[in-house]
């Protein structure tokens, strides 16, 4: 979609009227267009491009911005390929999962579920300042239908809803997109805020495995600009034991024995590629590095998009 169309879709979701996903009729129309081939407008564009054609010996390559966008696309493809209901590809099939993910993050529904399971009534109350109850229910239904959230039933009680592992893994394309936005900012794109940072950690931390010999408590902090030039630090206090995250909290330890700190771009660059080493660390360096490596491996590890040659990702 064009950028303007995506912004309109996000705006509609926040007004409580999420646009419908492509239906069978729209898919059929799209397939007919493909079969019909290029129309006169398409041919006119090709003629215009031909008039500005370069010499045959001119070499072309992606800019840094182009490579960055290609990495974001590869990260999205990786996430879609892990769909528990079967691998999805970019296009109409992928849109049925990608649209609910983007809309739910934009409307902070994902932020609410990142911290744990909630009932529909609890979600409506939590998001009352952002979404109408009907919109909460619609977006929650889309998350469940796409496999990113699930209903948990207790004895005789209304179900509660929680993110699935795949729903939590959606933080990887979000991190890739944030790195792109931080490197190539747009005037109408807001920087990550405290709630974004807390949600990102709470989505990712339950997924990771850490080396069994790594244990302790570390403060993962992200530096954010505050009011009147003051600096805020948001993130998570993480307790690691027995090869996993035993506990995590958005309440930060004010005097941590071990800490990892950086701005949003530092964190994105380091988690995507730990060799970048952009974060400040202190205390038990092994614990801090173990946490970073575990986040990288789960979100951007061996099966993630990696550069194989200039301008190419696989």
Domain boundaries, the chain: 62-190, 192-304
Q: What is the mean pLDDT of residues 157-185?
A: 95
What pLDDT does residue 314 have? 27
Q: Is 187 helix (H, G, I), strand (E, B) or coil?
A: coil
What pLDDT does residue 118 have? 95
Taking the C-alpha atoms of residue 145 and residue 91, their distance in angstroms, rounded to an integer, is: 18
**Cβ–Cβ under 8 Å, residues 250 and 198:** yes
Task: Report pTM.
Answer: 0.80
Q: Is 304 helix (H, G, I), strand (E, B) or coil?
A: coil
Q: What is the mean pLDDT of residues 271-279?
A: 88
- Computed over every residue of the chain, the mean pLDDT equals 85
Contacts of 23 (CB under 8 A, 6+ apart): none
Q: For residue range 237-260, what is the model confidence (pLDDT) as tens digits?
A: 999 998 899 999 999 977 888 999
Range 99-125 burial, b when 16+ CB lie within 10 A, else e = bbbbbbbbbbbbbbbbbeebbbeebbe
Would you say domain 192-304 falls under CATH 1.10.101? no
- Tokens for 274, please give them: 């730990």
Among residues 175, 216, 225, the alpha carbon closest in space to that of 199 is found at 175
* CA-CA-CA-CA torsion sign (113, 87, 34, 28): negative
CATH code of the domain made up of 62-190: 1.10.10.10
Percent of the chain residues past pLDDT 70, beyond the cut: 85
Place of tokens 């009907």: 134
Looking at the chain, the number of H-run helices and the number of E-run strands are: 13, 10
248: left (phi over 0), alpha (psi -120 to 50) or beta: beta
């Amino acid at each position: 979609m064009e950028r303007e169309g995506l912004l309109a879709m996000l705006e509609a979701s926040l007004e409580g009227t999420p646009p419908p996903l492509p239906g069978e009729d729209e898919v059929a129309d799209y397939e007919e267009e493909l079969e019909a081939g290029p129309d006169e407008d398409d041919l006119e564009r090709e003629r215009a491009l031909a008039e500005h054609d370069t010499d045959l010996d001119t070499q072309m390559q992606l800019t840094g911005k182009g490579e960055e966008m290609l990495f974001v696309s590869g990260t999205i493809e990786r996430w879609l390929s892990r769909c528990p209901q079967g691998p999805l590809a970019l296009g109409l099939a992928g849109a049925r999962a990608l649209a609910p993910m983007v809309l739910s993050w934009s409307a902070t529904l994902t932020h609410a579920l990142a911290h744990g399971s909630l009932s529909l009534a609890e979600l409506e109350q939590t998001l009352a300042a952002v979404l109408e109850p009907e919109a909460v229910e619609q977006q929650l239904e889309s998350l469940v239908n796409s496999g990113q959230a699930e209903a948990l039933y207790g004895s005789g009680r209304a179900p509660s809803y929680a993110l699935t592992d795949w729903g939590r893994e959606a933080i990887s394309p979000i991190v890739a997109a944030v790195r792109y936005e931080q490197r190539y900012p747009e005037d109408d794109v807001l920087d990550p805020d405290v709630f974004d940072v807390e949600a990102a950690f709470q989505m990712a931390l339950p997924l990771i495995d850490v080396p069994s010999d790594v244990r302790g408590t570390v403060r993962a902090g992200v530096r954010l600009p505050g009011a009147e030039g003051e600096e805020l630090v948001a993130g998570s206090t993480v307790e690691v034991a027995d090869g996993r995250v035993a506990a995590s909290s958005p309440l930060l330890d004010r005097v941590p024995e071990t800490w990892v700190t950086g701005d949003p771009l530092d964190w994105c660059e380091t988690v995507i590629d730990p060799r970048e080493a952009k974060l400040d660390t202190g205390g038990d360096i092994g614990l801090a590095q173990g946490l970073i490596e575990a986040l990288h491996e789960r979100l951007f590890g061996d099966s993630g998009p990696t550069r194989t040659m200039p301008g190419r990702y696989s």
